[in-house]
Amino acid sequence: MSPLRSMNKALPVLLLLCSMMPCVAEQNLSIATVPKKEGACEDCHAKEAEEFRRGPMASAARTQDFLGEQSKAKQPDHCLKCHAPQGGEGVACVDCHGAGNHPYARVGVPQACSQCHDAPGENTVRSFRHLRSTVPGTDCIGCHTSSNKSFSHDFIGVSRRSFLEGVARLRSFLHREKDNAWHLTVLIRHRAGHALPGGTTGRSVWLRVTGRTRGGEIMWEKSRRFGWEYSPDSGWVDRSLPPGRTTRIQMSVPDAAGIYQIRAELVYRFKAGPLDTLDSNETELDSLNIHLAN
């Protein structure tokens, strides 16, 4: 077969291939530049979307705790800047990955987290950065995902009670001071990578100490709250348990006559308000008993 005849047979195929190439390029370009619409991510990332839906951020704007706090806020719309920036039921993909074009850059941690977790009434990332400056360790992803793989979207936190197991420990001892009165020292240390309780102003950690008779009757009680506190004079003040060091609490004990046992309890609470406010999600972090020789 002559070269000319061979070329004539190949020409239609070459023309067909050339005509297809611009279409392929145009298709790739459109995928890379069209911004994501609400819900579009899960069309290709179904596994990640399902993982994320299991966590609290996906429904951050519809929980009863949030709705209760929002109803008391002076500027309730400001709450949605973190709890539902896109106007849905919670945090959306673009809130962490950015609102640019697909494919998105890798999420920067903890910078992306600090957008909300350093908002007013939050100190989570700030306290994490402070701890990292003295005790290098893992990052947000390492503790708050169900997998050691950085691409997991199954974010976990205190809404899963098992996450709080072993996070804090109590130690205490009873002693007499120069005034011959009894004093109790309680030492609190936790292993969270940031201040405890973390999260919003409504969350708290309480230390409750009671003196009881042999029959269990409470004769004496004291409590101490850790978290954000509000006062008309100074506004919101952070009184959380700092990370990486022991918090020391001292209190005087009244005449110990009749007190058989002193019990100290450390509890994590989700409801704002005093300790006797009902909180069905309250979780005990640790407890201990001191028996008196009565």
Say how many C-beta atoms besides its own lie within 10 A of residue 1's C-beta. Answer: 6
* Whether 81 and 110 share a structural domain: yes
Tell me the pLDDT band of 271, cut-offs 50, 70 and 90. Answer: confident
Residue 12 within any structural domain of the chain:
no
37: in domain: no
pTM for the full predicted model: 0.80
First to last CA, the chain: 115
Specify if 193 maps to a domain.
yes
In a domain, 32, yes or no: no
Strand 168-176's sheet: what is its strand order? 168-176, 182-190, 247-253
Q: Are strands 247-253 and 168-176 parallel, antiparallel or unpaired?
A: unpaired
Positive or negative, the CA dihedral 85, 91, 97, 102 is negative
pLDDT interval class at 114 (50, 70, 90): very high
Total count of domains within the chain: 2
- Cα torsion at 155, 158, 160, 161 (round to 10°)? 150
128 and 110 Cβ atoms separated by less than 8 Å = yes
Residues 94, 141 within the same domain: yes
41, 49 Cβ separation under 8 angstroms: yes
Residue from 264, 256, 168 nearest 224 by CA: 264
Contact 241, 196 (CB under 8 A): yes
Same domain, 180 and 263: yes
Q: Is residue 285 part of a domain?
A: yes
Local structure of residue 45 (DSSP, 8 states): -
Same-domain pairing of 122 and 227: no
The residue among 114, 140, 156 that closes a domain is 156
Where is the domain boundary, 156, 173, 188? Answer: 156
Structure tokens at 177: 């001071």
Question: Which pLDDT belongs to residue 166?
Answer: 94
Calpha distance 290→294 (Å, rounded): 12
Residues 238 and 277 in one domain: yes
- Do β-strands 182-190 and 247-253 pair in parallel, antiparallel, or remain unpaired? antiparallel
Query: Residue 72 falls within a domain, yes or no?
Result: yes
Residue 228's CATH number: 2.60.40.10
The answer to whether the Cα torsion of 273, 276, 280, 281 is positive or negative is: positive
Q: Which of 74-83, 239-248, 262-271 has the lowest mean pLDDT?
A: 74-83
Instruction: Indicate the residue among 126, 156, 186 that finishes a domain.
Output: 156
Judge if 148 and 233 occupy the same domain. no
What is the pLDDT, as a whole number, of residue 135? 65
Average pLDDT in the chain: 82
State whether 177 and 218 are in the same domain: yes
Report pLDDT digits (tens) over 174-218.
888 777 778 899 999 999 999 999 888 889 999 999 999 988 899
Same domain? 168 vs 286: yes
Domain holding 141, by residue range, is 46-156
In a domain, 27, yes or no: no
Residues 106 and 194 in one domain: no
Claim to verify: residue 133 and residue 244 sit in the same structural domain: no
pLDDT tens for each residue of 25-71: 333 333 333 334 556 788 889 999 999 998 889 999 998 888 888 88
Whether 173 and 275 share a structural domain:
yes
Residue 39: CB atoms within 10 A of its CB come to 11
Specify if 6 maps to a domain.
Answer: no
Whether 111 and 147 map to the same domain: the answer is yes
Q: Could you tell me whether strands 247-253 and 283-291 are parallel, antiparallel, or unpaired per DSSP bridges?
A: unpaired
